[in-house]
Each structure stands twice: as C-alpha cells, then as structure tokens.
Amino acid sequence: MRVLVTGGAGFIGSHVVEQLAACGADVAVLDNLSRGSLSNLHPAASLYHGDIRDEEFVRETLEQFRPRVVIHQAAQVDVQASLDDPARDAAVNIGGTLHLLEACRRTGVEKVIYASSAAVYGDPLYLPVDEEHPVRPLAGYGISKHTVEHYLEVYRGLYGLDYTVLRYANVYGPRQDATGEGGVVAVFVHRLLQGEAPCIFGDGEQTRDFVYVGDVAAANLAAVKKGSGRVLNVSTGRATSVNDLFQLLQKITGSKIKARYCPPRPGDIRHSYLSCDLARKTLGWQALTDLAAGLNLTVEWYRKERRLFMSGS
C-alpha cells in the first residue's frame, strides 16, 4: 500500500513511518523540516521537502506519489503560539489541511487519517472524557484542530474521501523536542540529564493522560483499514499527576535533583484523561506500553542522543 505521511520527519510522524515501513508499505514523507529532522527520516521513505501551506507543492506531491492513504500529522502544535499568532496557526492547521484535502480528492486518495487533539475538549465537564464530551477549545490550536474535523466530514459526504480522526492525549516518547512546544516528559528528561531543576507549574497535582508514541503510531496503522468516518480518542484512559511523573523520572534517571515549583500558568486545565473504549471497540487498538516502561524507553533514547552530541558524532 502506498501511504503519504505529512510531518513524517517529526516526533509522532517518524514513528508512524517506521511502523508502516516495517509492515512493507510504500511510504513517502511530506515535511518542511521546521520541527522535524532528517535524522528522523526512515531510510525506506522518500522525502518531499516543502510546506503544506504551499498549495502547488502539495498538489504536485500527491500527483507524483499517488498515495492511497494520507496520514496527516503535520501541524502547528504549540498552544501558546496559537494564542500569540492565531492567523499563522489557522494558516497551517486549517489552510494547509484544505490544500491537502483538495489534492486528495483530485488524485483519488481513498482515506485520510487525521491527528487531532484532546485540546478540542477544553476544560473537562466530566472524566474520563469520551468522544461525546462537548467541544469547548480554550485556544486557537484546539479551534483549528476541531475545524478540520468538520471539513473531513464534508469531504466524505461530498466526494467520498474517507477519514478517521484520532484525538491524541499527551503523547511522549523518543524523538520528542524538549524545546519550544516539547511536552512535559521531554522537558523533564532533558533537564534531569543536564543536571538542571525542571519547573513544575502550580502544585504538581494536576493530572494528564500520557500515551506512548509507539502506541499512537499503532493506532494510526489500525485506522488505515478501520474506523471509517469515526472520531476516536487515542489515550491510556489513566490519569497521572505531574508530581508522580517527575518522581518516576527521578527514579529512572537516578537523579536527586528536586523540581522547582513555579506559579500556575493561566488557563491550564487541572485534570484531564480520556476514555479509550471507543478506539478499542472500533480499531481493536489499545495502549500496550505502561508509563514506567515508556519512560524507560524515552530516557534511554535521550541518553543515547546526549552521548552522541557530547562525542560530536
């Protein structure tokens, strides 16, 4: 099967490409390398280097590669950036995706698998958050992610372009950027390995649903043949406090460094975790990597990268 992965040199996308290649798929990557890296690019994947905001480039890429399935991971993913520059956020996440959908329908793509986010839900009214929870995004990022979900539904009805939407919880794992929009796991690991004290905002008792990137990639592969027209949470269904997360990472890294507690950030959600029941029933998928195992794999990768950096390799 021929599959195009947008953002396939990035954090989540590179893991998706890796699993597709292992299954024998013919894979290409569309990436502008603004957050992705050539070091993440799988050797079996061809690279189309450019931006999804470039309508002509997107159209020509799909005309040349002719994928049956597009897995759309490329996005502006920084919540704060979506508040600081909502127009850019919309241009990438909405405008860029529309270029992609137009190219998909004109080149006969059968299905789009779309990386959405738990950010669409906003501050939960109840826990765990299921797919029927009201959508109340708190920032432009959540708005742009949810807007695309509506476009996918319209394109399916008008043009027969199938889709599955995957709403990710807090994804962590190897290759995640510890700078910029890097997740809390990447930031904590980076700081601890550097011998620096990370900052915990508020009292650290806020909870999140941490799902390992390899499991997220597996959900994307399952959605290639299942989940037609569905919106599905990709999560563990379990809540972990930031304090517990930090203590686990202290144990794994062997660090005695204590966290600094900083003032809570305005707009931060106190508690959030997602129900994964529908994904299990629809895709036959569930997160298989428990938090301790996933964190061990993550720390091992960062240690290896740090050794390579220190040696200049």
Is residue 124 a contact partner of residue 169, using CB atoms and an 8 Å limit?
A: no
Q: What is the dihedral of CA 278, 279, 281, 284, to 10 degrees?
A: -170
Please name the residue ranges forming H helices in 202-288: 213-223, 242-253, 277-283
Is residue 237 a contact partner of residue 273, using CB atoms and an 8 Å limit?
A: yes
Q: What is the rounded distance in angstroms from the CA atom of residue 3 to the CA atom of residue 138?
A: 33
Q: What is the rounded distance in angstroms from the CA atom of residue 223 to the CA atom of residue 233?
A: 12
Q: What is the rounded distance in angstroms from the CA atom of residue 271 to the CA atom of residue 109?
A: 39
3-state helix, strand, coil in the chain (%, to 5): 45, 20, 40
* 3-class SS of residue 90: helix
List Cβ neighbours of 17 (8 Å cut-off, separation of 6 or more). Answer: 5, 8, 27, 29, 41, 42, 45
**Letter for the amino acid at 30?**
L
Look up 302 and say whether it is catalytic.
no
Catalytic residue among 48, 121, 141, 302: 141
**Letter for the amino acid at 168?**
Y
Question: CA separation (Å) from 95 to 12, 68, 86, 114, 161?
Answer: 21, 22, 12, 15, 18
**Which residues are designated catalytic?**
141
